[in-house]
Amino acid sequence: MRVGRIACVTGAAIANAGFRRGQHRNFCILLANTPRPLDWNSRHLHAAINAAGVGLWWWNVESDEMAMDERSYALWDMHGGSAATFNDLSAKIHPKDLDRVRAAFAETRAIAGPYEIDFRILSGDDIRWVSARGKGNDADIQHNVMRGIFLDVTGRKQAEEANQLLAGEMSHRVKNLLLVASQLAQITSRSATTTAQMAQDLSKRLTALGRAHDLVRPKGGRPVEAALLGDLISVLLQAYDETDGSSGRIRVSVPRMDIGEGAATALALVVHELATNSLKYGALSAERGTLHIGCTASGDEVVVVWTERGGPAVVPPSTATGFGSELIRRSMAHQLGGSIAFDWAPDGLIVTLQMRRDRLSA
């Protein structure tokens, strides 16, 4: 039964409040059920701290001695209750963040009001993100001791990194799609004699790209049935062939094998990236350039070889790999369990894709 506060209300006050005769009893009940102000005690405080996942710490700014509660010791992978200094904690801070954290903690005494810093620590075999928060400028300091909290923000940081990667990937894909559309318009104009023919041919090539995506996307909520590896590559590259396959400029020689939805999406990304680069710099940028895709399968390994001939002179990249190259390497390693290797041969680029057969069918 809830205990509330009791208020004495005069008849005049009830009348002034607009209550009719007989309603004052309900009004008194309403007052009686009004909760009291929250009465905090140590048990309530500890329950709130545990629910929020907060770790407590204090730091003696003169002796450099630090102490933490059990949650903080566990977060830093240290023995609970042991005396520690900031130097002891520094050994756990990620080397790339150490100087920044040292400078930030040294500056806390000059910062007016609350401060917050996020950094990485080495906790056992894991790398975790920690947010240290407190008050600077000696606010509320007693006996040279500053107090604050640690929060494990690893999940938030991982989500932020994933969002940044996704944003970068989406930006890269959009740029590639615009570039592909531009290059397809250029190669279409080579053989088109009228604007109507060019529009028709360009539409066919863009439609071919759409069909390739249809092979690997679910429809109506139903899972995609396994596609054939050769069909996927052929449909993807059809959009880049200005002769619609009549000249044999792009040849695909792949044994019959299934490819699952997840692997098809990853491989489609890789093929698009290679074809886009070929349009910009390689064999597909030249009228007489050719592209051959071959494949061999042995045991649990599938090897696809991408061979370009007849394009401009090959110049190996002189700078670090860009986002596109990193993206396809990651797709090959994480989703297809394989690798990608580039051979910048003088007469044409050769790319070797190695994949696991079980990953290909997933």
Domains parsed from the chain with CATH numbers: 1-37 (no CATH), 52-152 (3.30.450.20), 158-360 (3.30.565.10)
As beta bridge partners, residue 34 has: none
- Distance, in Å, from the CA atom of 194 to the CA atom of 188, rounded to the nearest integer, reads 11
**Exposure string (b/e) for 289-320, b if CB count within 10 Å is 16 or more?**
bbbbbebebeeeebebbbbbbbbeebeeeeee
Q: For the chain, what is the radius of gyration of the CA atoms?
A: 33
pLDDT confidence of residue 136: 66
Contact call for residues 232 and 267 (beta carbons, < 8 A): yes
pTM for this model (two decimals): 0.46
pLDDT confidence of residue 264: 78
Contact call for residues 247 and 190 (beta carbons, < 8 A): no
Please return the burial class of 274, using the count of CB atoms within 10 Å of its CB with bins 0-12, 13-18 and 19+: buried
Contact call for residues 81 and 72 (beta carbons, < 8 A): no
pLDDT confidence of residue 250: 92
Contact call for residues 362 and 332 (beta carbons, < 8 A): no
- pLDDT per residue over 49-62, tens digit each? 777 778 888 778 77
8 to 12, 22, 24, 28, 35: CA distances (angstroms): 12, 16, 11, 8, 17
pLDDT confidence of residue 277: 83
Residues 6+ apart with CB under 8 A from 167: none
Low-confidence ranges of the chain (pLDDT < 50): 1-15, 17-19, 22-32, 34, 224
pLDDT confidence of residue 44: 76
